[in-house]
Amino acid sequence: MGLQPAIVVWGIGTVRTLRAHWVLRELGLEYETRAIGSRTGETRSAAFRALNPRAKIPVVEIGDEALVESAAIVTTLGERFGVDLVPPPKSRARARYDEWCLWTMTELDAHTLYVMRRHGDLAELYGEAPKALEAARDYFAWQVEVAADEITQRGPFLLGETFSGADLLLTTCLDWALAYRVPVPEALVAYRGRIATRPAYGAAFAHNFPDLVAGDGAS
Ligand SMILES: N[C@@H](CCC(=O)N[C@@H](CS)C(=O)NCC(=O)O)C(=O)O
């Protein structure tokens, strides 16, 4: 693409960074990667914190702008460069899109999967909390049933016929849950399997998780 602004993605190796690589590939945008990893100290450098004072990956530099927060990156890029990835502002479809994105990022990513990460893999840093781990697994299980019902009744995607950024976010959380051996309803395993055949997903996954075989999501 000749006219696109220079784009640089900072970060690889987590489901959050996968979202940035995946959306750019869905949009057919070319970009460079700065392959910094989480908890390597690389997010603490002055250069990186000038882009994201929160010291978190992913960051997408686009021209002289720095986009941060993986769900916001998906929506912003989809809106600017896509056709169907994000429904138009103020539409009913956009309200549903926002609902599914925020639900995925709060109820699945932050409240359950990241709790498992903090008190499971990263317990040395954040402390052992077996009750919190168990509660997070249970909470994920019943919350995710709502998405399974939606796909079963009105699928094949969260917004019906069209794949959107909300599906991208949900799929990354399903990858994460499956990597943690959290039970995922059959309808969502099939949904994730269909979406994982998208070329943009496969290419982004391989780029983001060079040490893993596609399908073995990690956080
Ligand atoms: N809500 C943020 C979370 C970003 C986040 O927590 N990133 C982690 C890696 S998954 C990170 O950069 N941690 C700091 C570090 O590793 O130094 C998003 O979705 O972008």
Question: Which of 3-7, 75-79, 87-91, 186-190 shows the lowest mean pLDDT across its residues?
Answer: 3-7
Please tell me whether the overall predicted TM-score, pTM, comes out greater than 0.85 for this model: yes
Domain-located, residue 216: no
Final residue belonging to a domain, choices 55, 81, 107 = 81
Q: Does ligand 1 lie within 6 Å of residue 49's CB atom?
A: no
Q: Total domain count for the chain?
A: 2
Q: What is the pLDDT of residues 147-179, one digit of tens each?
A: 999 999 999 999 999 999 999 999 999 999 999
Which CATH number goes with the domain that contains 55?
A: 3.40.30.10
Instruction: Tell how far the Cα of 115 is from the centroid of ligand 1, in angstroms.
Output: 13
CA 61, CA 195: separation in Å to the nearest integer?
Answer: 27
Domain-located, residue 209: no
Whether residue 206 has pLDDT greater than 80: yes
Domain-located, residue 206: no
Instruction: Tell how far the Cα of 178 is from the centroid of ligand 1, in angstroms.
Output: 20
Final residue belonging to a domain, choices 81, 101, 135 = 81
Residue 218: the pLDDT is: 47
Whether residue 2 has pLDDT greater than 80: no
Across the chain, mean pLDDT equals 95
Strand order in the sheet with 32-34: 32-34, 7-10, 59-62, 65-68
What residues make up the domain containing 130?
Answer: 92-198
Whether residue 1 has pLDDT greater than 80: no
Domain-located, residue 40: yes
Ligand 1 atom, smallest distance to 15 CA: 10
Instruction: Tell how far the Cα of 139 is from the centroid of ligand 1, in angstroms.
Output: 22
Domain-located, residue 2: no
